[in-house]
Structure 1
């Protein structure tokens, strides 16, 4: 998997988490509702930032060529 693919997947997961679609909800044996979030939003955001940093260092444009002499 490329960095771009990982980043797209992580952003999609973050979107799902932030919009409430990545929350599992069930009733336990006492009838109480339990909500479980599949991922920690802060850790996921840090992972996205790390991937973006990796991508920035691998895709950094080089300096323009300069010719010296006559």
Structure 2
């Protein structure tokens, strides 16, 4: 029963959104893009922090192995 209620609420929300005037839809779309961009930027910053924390230390010396046939 809860699944059918959930589906009907989604359909109702869809109908309400589709019936909004064009300027309101444009504003809603612009707002949603700003929110998505902000979330993507925060996600990227978190990823960069994790990448920097997991990076190898700067004083690591790499020793090349001799060429082998």
Band of TM-score, shorter chain: 0.3 to 0.5
TM-score (norm 2): 0.37
Higher Cα Rg: structure 1 or 2? 2
Which structure's residues are more often helix, by fraction? 2
Which structure's residues are more often strand, by fraction? 1
Structure with larger RCO (C-alpha < 8 A, sep 6+): 1
TM-score (norm 1): 0.36
